[in-house]
């Protein structure tokens, strides 16, 4: 496995543990629709939460969360729309980012609730 994939996997495991400790009910991990993927789908109370996990070894080029660009946001929105339709859900939806800096077994986690909002056009 490539190093960046290993770091990403570690970051997802850290984020999963972090979210469970906050009381989130994890529904799906790495849920896929065609070529789209949602890292974590969870519930926070009655709210369905789409969680994108971004992990980096350093923030030299910016915090991990800045790499969730508009294109990635559109993909997440499209994927969760399909998930909601498949499961026939009517929950409110929130988009969060869990940013993980991980190097030499040191970790720093930032949880950004309501990181972005779907644009209605």
Specify the CATH number for the domain of residue 40.
Answer: 3.40.1350.10
Distance, CA of 34 to CA of 30 (rounded, Å): 12
- Count: domains in the chain: 1
pLDDT of residue 101: 87
- Reported as a single tens digit per residue, the pLDDT across 33-42 is 999 999 999 9
pLDDT class for 7, splitting at 50, 70, 90? confident
pLDDT at 67: 78
Mean pLDDT (the chain) is 89
CB 97 within 8 Å of CB 113:
no
The answer to which of 58-67, 91-100, 109-118 has the lowest mean pLDDT is 58-67
Residue 42: domain span: 3-112
- Specify if 23 maps to a domain: yes
Interatomic CA distance for residues 88 and 82, integer angstroms: 10
């Amino acid at each position: 496995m490539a190093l960046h994939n290993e770091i990403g996997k570690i970051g997802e495991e850290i984020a999963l543990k972090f979210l469970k400790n906050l009381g989130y009910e994890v529904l799906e991990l790495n849920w896929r629709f065609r070529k789209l993927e949602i890292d974590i789908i969870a519930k926070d109370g009655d709210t369905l939460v789409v969680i994108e996990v971004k992990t980096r070894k350093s923030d030299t080029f910016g915090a991990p969360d800045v790499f969730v660009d508009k294109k990635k946001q559109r993909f997440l929105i499209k994927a969760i729309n399909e998930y909601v339709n498949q499961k026939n859900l009517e929950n409110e939806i929130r988009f969060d980012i869990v940013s993980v800096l991980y190097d030499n077994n040191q970790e720093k986690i930032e949880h950004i609730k309501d990181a972005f909002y779907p644009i209605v056009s």
